[in-house]
Amino acid sequence: MKSIVILAAHYDRKRERGSHMNPQQLRIFMQAAEGRSLTETAVALGLKQPTVSFHMQKLEQSAGVSLFRKQGGRMRLTDAGEALLPYAAKISALLDEAEQLMADYREQGRGKLKIGASYTPATYFLPAYLAEFQMQHPLALPTLTVKQAGAALSLLQSYEIDVAVVSLAEEPYPGLNIVPLSEDPLTLALAPFHPLAAGEVGIAELQGQPFLVHEPGSTSRRLSERWAADNGLRWQIRMELGAIETIKEAVKHGMGIGILPRRSVRREELGGELALRELPGKVSPRTICLVYRKEDAPNRQAAAFIAFMREKLSV
């Protein structure tokens, strides 16, 4: 009970002294601390002298001690005022920094841009565009989360990212705006020494061949399976792999035929490390798309990125 009485008395004394120190009081304190008169302090801050006097009195009430003494018409710091000065300087500097930061967010587009991307766009498509976007919007802070397309869309729908750039099949995606950016077809990838590496490849030649395929859940895997089913291909899956680079290396060593995004194997084709052949028969389109939610307006950073990508790709 005694401790409660002591705390209540302490609170009453603080309330009698007035409110806590505020930024305006500290800024006035710092100006006056330079040895100015009340009038000079008011002029420096663009305030009226009674306003300066009022805030200085309130500051001293909050502190509970005298911070100034008058000497020759000017304000001089007491020992307590000298002790407070470095803290006032730190607080004022932090406030200035915070105000500038908020101005950057408000006026110059500073802020995080959370992008989700599937593996092919993240590795072989987005980097050049992100570099240019950063040059045009230096205060935007992009983060890139790389997942399978379905997982990236789930993150978008659960508001964990702002926008997605993913490879998609041609099918409906309720609640999402889908903006096609670039074709991203699949291709057969073979080792240069593979018997089918020379000339055209038909469905008949592929029957019973061992394939290296993406793990389930990816757009590439779904479209590969759809292609095989549409064309009556009875393939042998030798291995399921999660990474494009792993599939490429396995193909190079003759472990099987890969079905890979064409843009992911251009360098290996030019270097003679892989032979590429068109998928024969009926093939479903695969497109890199920009995706964002329909029901809400994108934040400033996301809106800027969407506009940038639309302009760059004329979509």
- Domain positions in the chain: 2-107, 111-183+287-313, 186-284
What pLDDT score was predicted for residue 97? 65
SS3 of 75, please? strand
SS3 of 238, please? strand
> How buried is 258 (Cβ within 10 angstroms: 0-12 exposed, 13-18 middle, 19+ buried)?
buried
What topology does CATH give the domain 111-183+287-313? D-Maltodextrin-Binding Protein; domain 2 (3.40.190)
Residues 238-276: tens digit of each pLDDT: 999 989 999 999 999 999 999 999 999 999 999 999 999
Residues 68-111: tens digit of each pLDDT: 887 777 778 888 888 888 888 778 777 766 766 666 566 555 68
Q: Which one is the CATH code of 2-107: 1.10.3720.10, 3.40.50.1370, 1.10.10.10, 3.40.50.12140?
A: 1.10.10.10
What pLDDT score was predicted for residue 7? 40
* CATH code for the structural domain at 186-284: 3.40.190.10
Transcribe 96-120 into DSSP letters: HHHHHHHHHHHHS--EEEEEEE-HH
Tokens 């790709």 belong to residue: 313
Residue 208 CA to residue 236 CA, distance in Å, equals 6
Could you give the count of Cα atoms lying within 13 Å of 160 in the half-sphere of its Cβ? 12
CA 184 vs. chain centroid, Å, equals: 24
Q: Are 202 and 280 in contact (CB under 8 A)?
A: yes
Count other Cβ atoms within 10 Å, centred on residue 242.
12
How does residue 2 score in pLDDT terms, banded at 50, 70 and 90?
very low
CA 156 vs. chain centroid, Å, equals: 13
pTM over 0.75: no
The larger pLDDT score, comparing residue 10 to residue 37, is at: 37
**Dihedral-angle region of residue 72 (phi above 0 means left; psi in -120 to 50 means alpha; beta otherwise):** left
Please check whether the two domains, 2-107 and 186-284, share a CATH topology: no
Residues 135-170: tens digit of each pLDDT: 999 888 899 999 999 999 999 999 999 999 999 998
Question: Percentage of residues in the chain with pLDDT exceeding 70?
Answer: 89
Q: Are 73 and 5 in contact (CB under 8 A)?
A: no
Q: Which of 10-14, 215-219, 247-251 has the highest mean pLDDT?
A: 247-251
